[in-house]
Homo-oligomer: A and B are copies of this chain.
Amino acid sequence: MPASIGDVAEHAGVSVATVSRALRGLPNVAPSTRARVLEAAARLGYVADARAAGLASGRTRTIGVAVPLIGPWFFSQVLAGVEAVVTDRDLDLLVLTVDDDAGRQRLASGARLRGRVDGVIAVDVALTEEQRATLAANDLPAVLVGLRGEDLPCVLVDNVEVGRTATEHLLSLGHTRIGLVGHARDDPLRFSVPEERRRGYHEALAAAGIEPDPRLELDGNFSIPGGAEAAEALLALPEPPTAILAMSDEMAFGCLRLARQRGLAVPGDLSVVGVDDHDVAAAWDLTTVSQPVQGMGEQAAELLLAVIDAGATAPAHLTVPSRLRVRGTTGPAKADRTPSRSTQDAIT
């Protein structure tokens, strides 16, 4: 039903080849001819069929982004960053969620993507070594975000540093018992970020001569309720922490909620530091380690476009800076006093 290039050619009295060239602004088309073609195309409301154009040209003018989930703040911000660059270049954005191993395998093998995208950005998609190799060996340009891949370009945050920075901040305030709320330890493959941040936490503790206490390290599921539960468990310990490092702002929000419910003053009774600099972190006055999430999406997109345009270059590993943002949820540890709830416990 829609007008095809042949219709335009007919109306303009030229060949389809000329229509194609005229419409795409290629040289070797006389101005008067081009004008006639443009006029005819406009009159017919003609738009080139993307499939046909792609088939013939070998390109799709689309780039794909694989994320585990779309809804969470982090991923939507990365998507927004990618989108900005992609739209700027007049390309389209295909979003696919990859949250299980079948999906990772499909992504790595290029299935489901062939003829769909010119390149793909995988955000926090925990590919196995083998899958990464498959992806790299594939002809499909790919960029990783959040996770390392030797043979692929990637955009990373130094998560060890993130963990260390946050921990050092709390140590510098005099805290010695610092809770860590993050992801479950038994899942290193799916998502290596928590493990790295935990390492930074341990390094900082070690540098301060503090023995890590495994009971202070809990899973928070990277969600608000998860953070609240973890905080609850931490505060129920015989010797509860005076500060909590949550590996994401969302978990930190959960901790803050629980603290409020318990009637604990923040940072008076409990200090909390998060990671991300979530949109609402500032509104909550949350001390956090910020990372340029949207910027990571942009960088990844730029990297990918460079690979697509320039062909296979040496895989660049980009490390973006993180930065401690001290706000109101962290303060000096009270030397003489553990949080009120445990004080009660101690009295009884």
Contacts and interface: CB of A to CB of B under 8 A. Distances in A.
A97 B83 contact: yes
B51 A70 contact: no
A260 B291 CA distance: 26
A2 B282 contact: no
B114 A2 contact: yes
Interface residues of A, number: 54
Contacts of A62: 94, 116
A279 interface: yes
Interface stretch (A74-82, A199-207, A210-218): A74-82
A233 interface: no
Given A50-B114, A96-B93, A283 B139 contact: no
Nearest to A99: B87
A60 interface: yes
Interface in A53-109: 53-55, 60, 62, 69-71, 73, 75-77, 79-80, 83, 87, 92-97, 109
A165 B253 CA distance: 28
B92 A94 contact: yes
B253 A139 contact: no
Given A47-B111, A50-B115, A114-B48, A94 B96 contact: no
Contacts of A93: 94-96
Contacts of A75: 76
A224 interface: yes
Contacts of A139: 1-2
Contact of A115 (B51, B79, B110, B253): B51
A49 B282 contact: no
A87 B97 contact: yes
A208 interface: no
Contacts of A45: 109-110
B97 A94 contact: no
A17 interface: no
Given A139-B2, A280-B280, A80 B87 contact: no
A116 B279 contact: no
19 contacts: A45-B110, A49-B114, A50-B115, A52-B55, A52-B115, A53-B115, A71-B79, A71-B294, A73-B73, A75-B76, A83-B95, A87-B96, A92-B94, A93-B96, A95-B95, A224-B283, A228-B283, A253-B284, A280-B280
